[in-house]
């Protein structure tokens, strides 16, 4: 049986001229607020006009497809929530290829009620729109891979600890109907497990990218938990709430937060992201096949 894997991610424009179209999609067809336009233009300008996430995710797709080819008749597609190729186009491609099963994997580390709904709803709509009637499996979080997830991050962090304050970081989320207990719990569990593997008895954890409007966001912020770190000390940021390099890591975490530490005389370093390294491809392979 042919098996399709759809890697689902947020999406990012491939050209600076497309930023407004991208933002209108995020704001459900409405004109985005001025602050969002200014902020995004600044972020993309800093990155040379294009987010590195486009290249990285395509590399992940290619490497995973090549790895799965050893195990059966697989094809891997990309489905972006706010850019092209869309989730619907990925479902259509899977249908036209004759996939008997689609495994849709969110490229998101921890389960979240709000995030899951934001992907599952367009996936369901796409399945209906293209008339796909095969099997569907939806994988809502990459840490469902268990020790593969923790081992991957421990391997990344281990060479860089060196006396630093280790700060585990994840994206904050707005608190609407859900209190996001699962998201917070999985984040905390990851920080605990990785620290155990590294032999750390102390670490910090906090959220980045807290929205500027409304006060119901997940906290504490990374700014709050590092407030007492003194001049000359070092912070090692571990963005365990992300799996590939994109602008919210480069700008929100490195430029804004890291810059604020450096301005206080605190040394700042960030670990690499899993990106397209072999351990991440193996993690995705295990989720795509249900294997070890």
pLDDT bucket at 176, cuts 50 / 70 / 90: confident
pLDDT digits (tens, 9 = 90+) for 86-113: 999 999 999 999 999 999 999 999 999 9
Rg (CA), the chain: 19
- Please check whether residues 193 and 205 belong to one and the same domain: yes
Residue 145 pLDDT level (bands cut at 50, 70, 90) = very high
Torsion over CA of 250, 254, 259 and 264, rounded to 10 degrees? 180
Checking if the pLDDT of 216 tops 80, the result is yes
CB 112 within 8 A of CB 183: yes
Instruction: Give residues with Cβ within 8 angstroms of 18, minimum separation 6.
Output: none
Any idea which of 28-42, 78-92, 273-287 has the lowest mean pLDDT?
Answer: 28-42
- Print the domain residue range for 90: 3-144+276-289
Quick one: 208 and 255 in the same domain?
yes
Nearest to 191 by CA among 142, 141, 240: 240
> Which of residues 45 and 234 earns the better pLDDT score?
234
Rounded to 5 degrees, what angle do the CA atoms 35, 245, 212 make? 25
Range 61-84 average pLDDT = 97
Are residues 134 and 102 part of one domain?
yes
Q: How would you classify residue 237: left for phi > 0, otherwise alpha for psi between -120 and 50, otherwise beta?
A: beta
Cis peptide upstream of residue 252 (ω within 30 degrees of 0): no
Tens-place pLDDT, residues 42-71: 999 988 888 999 999 999 999 999 999 999
Residues 187 and 189: their CA atoms lie apart, in Å, by: 5
Whether the per-residue pLDDT at 214 is higher than 90: the answer is no
186 shares a domain with 61? no
What's residue 15's pLDDT?
Answer: 87
pTM of the prediction? 0.96
Predicted confidence at residue 290, as pLDDT, reads 85
Nearest to 187 by CA among 163, 220, 210, 211: 220
Compute the distance between CA of residue 123 and CA of residue 247 in angstroms, rounded to an integer: 25
Q: What is the mean pLDDT of the chain?
A: 95
Query: In this structure, are 208 and 118 located in the same domain?
Result: no
Model pLDDT for residues 241-251, shown as the tens digit of each residue: 999 999 999 99
Query: Is the same domain home to 230 and 162?
Result: yes
Task: State the Cα–Cα distance between residues 77 and 6, nearest whole angstrom.
Answer: 5
* % of the chain with per-residue pLDDT over 70: 99
155 & 48 share domain: no
Token pair of 71 as six digits: 């195990």
DSSP 8-state symbol, 17 = G
One domain, residues 212 and 118? no
pLDDT at res. 46 = 85
154 and 264 housed in the same domain: yes
Would you state the pLDDT for residue 94? 98
Distance CA(190)–CA(146), nearest Å, equals 10
Same domain, 216 and 162: yes
- Considering the domain architecture, whether residues 124 and 162 belong to the same structural domain is answered as no
With 70 as the cut, is the pLDDT of residue 217 above it? yes
**CATH number of the domain residue 55 falls in:** 3.40.50.1400
pLDDT at position 178 is 79
Same domain, 156 and 239: yes
How many domains is the chain partitioned into structurally? Answer: 2
Question: What are the structure tokens assigned to 129, written together?
Answer: 């729109």
Q: Is the pLDDT of residue 292 over 90?
A: no
């Amino acid at each position: 049986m042919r098996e399709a894997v759809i890697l689902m991610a947020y999406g990012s424009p491939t050209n600076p001229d497309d930023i407004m179209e991208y933002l209108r999609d995020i704001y459900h067809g409405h004109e985005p607020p001025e602050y969002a336009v200014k902020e995004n233009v600044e972020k993309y300008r800093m990155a040379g006009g294009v987010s590195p996430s486009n290249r990285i995710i395509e590399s992940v797709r290619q490497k995973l497809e090549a790895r799965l080819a050893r195990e059966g008749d697989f094809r891997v597609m990309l489905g972006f929530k706010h850019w092209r190729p869309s989730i619907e186009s990925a479902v259509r491609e899977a249908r036209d290829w004759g996939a008997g099963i689609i495994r849709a994997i969110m490229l998101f580390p921890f389960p979240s009620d709000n995030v899951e709904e934001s992907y599952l709803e367009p996936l369901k709509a796409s399945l209906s729109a293209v008339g796909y009637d095969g099997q569907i499996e939806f994988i809502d979080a990459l840490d469902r891979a268990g020790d593969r997830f923790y081992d991957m991050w421990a391997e990344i962090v281990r060479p860089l600890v060196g006396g630093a304050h280790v700060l585990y970081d994840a994206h904050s989320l707005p608190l609407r109907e859900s209190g996001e207990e699962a998201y917070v719990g999985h984040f905390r569990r990851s920080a605990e497990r990785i620290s155990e593997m590294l032999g750390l008895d102390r670490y910090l954890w906090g959220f980045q990218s807290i929205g500027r409007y409304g006060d119901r966001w997940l906290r504490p912020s990374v700014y709050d938990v590092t407030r007492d770190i003194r001049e000359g000390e070092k912070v090692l940021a571990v963005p365990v709430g992300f799996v590939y390099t994109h602008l919210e890591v480069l700008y929100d975490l490195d430029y804004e937060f890291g810059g604020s530490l450096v301005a206080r005389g605190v040394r700042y370093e960030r670990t690499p992201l899993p990106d397209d390294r072999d351990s991440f491809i193996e993690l995705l392979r295990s989720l795509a096949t249900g294997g070890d």
